[in-house]
Amino acid sequence: MSLPDKVEIIEVGPRDGIQNEFNFIPTEKKIELINALSKTGIKRMEAVSFVHPKYVPQMKDANEVLNGIEKSPSVQYMALIPNKKGYDRAIESGVNSLSLVVGASDSFNLKNVKMSREQSITNLATVIEKAKANDIFIRYSIATAFWCPFEGKVDADLVLKMVEEAEMLGADEIVLADTIGRANPKQVFELFQAALSLKTKSSISAHFHDTYGMALGNVMAALEAGITRFDASIGGLGGCPFAPGAAGNAATEDLVFMLHEMGIDTGIDLGQLLACIELLKPFTNRELTGHLHKVKGFQ
């Protein structure tokens, strides 16, 4: 088994994790969670998204959250944006790194941002051009890279073409996302191996959901393929409002624990990470899907 010595975990809980919460989480509590996560050793985090509050009301206080957190100079705080309007709002808030999402599936993309895949790519090309002129980091996520809730299995060649397109547009990082958690380890290994063979200047990262209980298995397959950057969400919270049946993300604490047990460094303090879950618990009605925090007496 060929494994790396070090893996980077990108925390997406403050954005992807809580965006589906029915009850609005108070702004000061979001700030408290982000500040606590910033002290765990996590170096990159999706903190907010600038989407229309009509569609994702949980993110209506994105500006207040970004202005309220204690920004650590060692942490990259990213804001997700869907379009040019989101870009303008994000820039006004002073962010220097943006997360963009395009669905490999047209049906999903239409549900997600009311545009076809090609319309999204065209619109975001302008955003990326502006961002790069202002030295802003661009994270380009290809959603439904494996399966779509409306169209089924996604053509791998289409996804690889989108990787090349993202590279040409100037993305700093390209994320292949298993949005509905339907991918299997063989499929994951083959797609990431093919993506890495393109030898892009952009780094390649992985984003797994745990709908079918395969998130950590898919992490292992991606590790074998050569991937060393993974998204995860505290407590395993998450899911996409526009992808029916999508469950939570890979749980950050479970992923960190697994990697540490295998001798792979993440730079994250597991004890501090578990303490963050206690901050989160009072503000979710959903059962946290992570396992580690349920283990009595875990040290």
Summarize pLDDT for 202-250 with one digit per residue, the tens: 999 999 999 999 999 999 999 999 999 999 999 999 876 656 666 789 9
Per the DSSP assignment, residues forming a β-bridge with 11 are: 45, 232
Summarize pLDDT for 71-117 with one digit per residue, the tens: 999 999 999 999 999 999 999 999 999 999 999 999 998 988 888 99
Pairing label, strands 173-178, 152-153: unpaired
As annotated, the active-site residues are 240
- For residues 252-261, give the mean pLDDT: 98
pLDDT of residue 241: 65
pLDDT at residue 24 greater than cutoff 80: yes
Which of 283, 273, 282, 289 minimizes the C-alpha distance to 239?
Answer: 289
pLDDT of residue 172: 98
CA distance 265 to 272: 16
Give the start-to-end residue ranges of the domains of the chain. 8-294
- At the fourth CATH level, the homologous superfamily of domain 8-294 is Aldolase class I (3.20.20.70)
If pLDDT is split at 50, 70 and 90, which confidence band does 188 have? very high
Summarize pLDDT for 269-293 with one digit per residue, the tens: 999 999 999 999 998 888 888 999 8
pTM for the complete prediction?
0.95
pLDDT of residue 243: 61
pLDDT of residue 159: 98
